């Protein structure tokens, strides 16, 4: 295999590697997130939680689509920027006390870190900055929702979102419209994996997703890495079994392996060059892997 062929397949190694990094990061953050009392839902086992999540998602998506339709892209940038800042604030609220304890000085450090991370993303949205901070952002979000939802509500949520993702990409195509609007603004809520060494997201962007043309980079929606990771964390928090290496149990490990297998299926379709709904294979593989790991607890 020559060098050019190896370079061609590097992005297909990096993408699932990002998924594993987010899952491991989410697992590592789950304890400080719990210690900080960060929770998205009061009752983790309530099956109403996935529908609340979906209602918020649909409302936020509809709001952004309206703004795109009427050309209010600056407002979109502000809305997403504030959301990113607040999310970083929650993440650093869990991380900083691990090092400094709790107090007014620590609150100032949390706020400063959240501001710095958000400003860096918007002032210099190069692909490696977006990816590095995106991994932290995705791991933090996955951890917060993972400790907030029991495994049954998470599985229900993943099934609902997989169906919604397929409809929004292949049928209504509004997710493609939303993604293109986000890309045009160079808004840092996705992962960018270059196909060539000298690629610059700032200079080149991505191009139109539906034109079938050759693009200089692959993109992955942040949700495609967050949602499987939510089940990984939930499995580790809410199911029993031995914690291997003191870190994860069999259901969580099974979910991780299943998510990577689902990613392999997704990459097969990504090779076509057309936009793909990531959540059906990713969520499906993660759920199957979790169920196998959960069944194996009785044999471990």
In eight-state DSSP terms, residue 168 is I
Region 152-157: mean pLDDT is 96
Provide the b/e sequence for 231-270 (b: ≥16 CB within 10 Å): bbbbbbbbbebeeeeeebbbbbbbbbbbbbbbbeebbeeb
* Other C-beta atoms lying within 10 Å of the C-beta of residue 286: 34
- How confident is the model at residue 58, as a pLDDT? 87
Q: Which residue carries 């229900």 as its tokens?
A: 156
> For residues 206 and 186, is the Cβ–Cβ distance under 8 A?
no
Rounded Cα gap, residues 27 and 93, in angstroms: 16
CA distances from 58 to 53, 81, 94, 159, 168 (A): 9, 19, 28, 16, 11
Answer yes or no: is pLDDT of 20 > 70. Answer: yes
Q: How confident is the model at residue 292 (pLDDT cuts 50, 70, 90)?
A: very high
Return the residue matching tokens 């907030």.
148
Q: Is 188 exposed, middle or buried (0-12, 13-18, 19+ CB in 10 A)?
A: buried
- Express as a percent the part of the chain with pLDDT over 70: 88
Per-residue confidence band for 17, with pLDDT thresholds at 50, 70 and 90? very high
First to last CA, the chain: 41
pLDDT of residue 91: 93
Residues 6 or more apart whose Cβ sits within 8 Å of residue 196: 216
Angle, helices 174-184 vs 73-100, to 10°: value is 80
CA distance 19 to 153: 22
How far CA 31 is from CA of 111, 146, 149, 150, 266, in Å, comes to: 21, 11, 15, 16, 31
pLDDT-based confidence at 132, cuts 50/70/90? very high
- Residue 196: φ, ψ to 5°: -135, 155
pLDDT (average), residues 246-251: 88
Burial of 128 (0-12, 13-18, 19+ CB in 10 A): exposed
Average pLDDT (47-73) is 87
pLDDT at 30 over 60: yes
> Comparing C-alpha atoms, which of 148, 218, 221, 215 is closest to residue 179?
221
How confident is the prediction for the chain on average, in pLDDT?
86
Per-residue pLDDT, averaged over 55-75, amounts to 84
With both helix axes pointing from N to C terminus, report the angle between 151-166 and 279-296 in degrees, rounded to the nearest 10: 160
């Amino acid at each position: 295999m020559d060098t050019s062929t190896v370079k061609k397949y590097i992005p297909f190694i990096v993408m699932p590697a990002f998924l594993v990094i987010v899952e491991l990061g989410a697992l590592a953050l789950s304890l400080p997130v719990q210690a900080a009392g960060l929770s998205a839902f009061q009752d983790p086992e309530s099956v109403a939680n996935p529908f609340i999540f979906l209602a918020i998602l649909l409302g936020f998506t509809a709001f952004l689509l309206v703004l795109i339709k009427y050309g209010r892209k600056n407002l979109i940038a502000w809305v997403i920027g504030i959301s990113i800042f607040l999310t970083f604030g929650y993440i650093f609220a869990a991380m900083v006390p691990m090092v400094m304890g709790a107090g007014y000085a620590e609150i100032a450090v949390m706020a400063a870190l959240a501001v710095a991370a958000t400003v860096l993303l918007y002032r210099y949205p190069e692909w490696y900055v977006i990816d590095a901070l995106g991994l932290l952002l995705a791991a933090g979000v996955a951890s917060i929702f993972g400790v907030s939802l029991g495994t049954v509500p998470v599985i229900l949520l993943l099934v609902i979102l997989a169906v919604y993702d397929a409809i929004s990409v292949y049928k209504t195509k509004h997710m493609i419209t939303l993604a293109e609007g986000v890309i045009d603004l160079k808004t840092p809520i996705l992962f960018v994996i270059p196909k060539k060494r000298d690629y610059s997201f700032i200079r080149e962007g991505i191009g139109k997703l539906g034109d079938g043309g050759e693009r200089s980079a692959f993109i992955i929606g942040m949700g495609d890495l967050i949602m499987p990771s939510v089940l990984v964390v939930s499995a580790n928090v809410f199911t029993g079994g031995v914690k291997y290496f003191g870190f994860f149990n069999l259901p969580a490990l099974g979910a991780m392996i299943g998510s990577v297998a689902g990613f392999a299926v997704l990459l097969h379709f990504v090779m076509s060059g057309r936009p793909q709904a990531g959540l059906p294979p990713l969520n499906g593989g993660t759920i199957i892997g979790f169920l196998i790991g959960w069944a194996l607890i009785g044999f471990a």
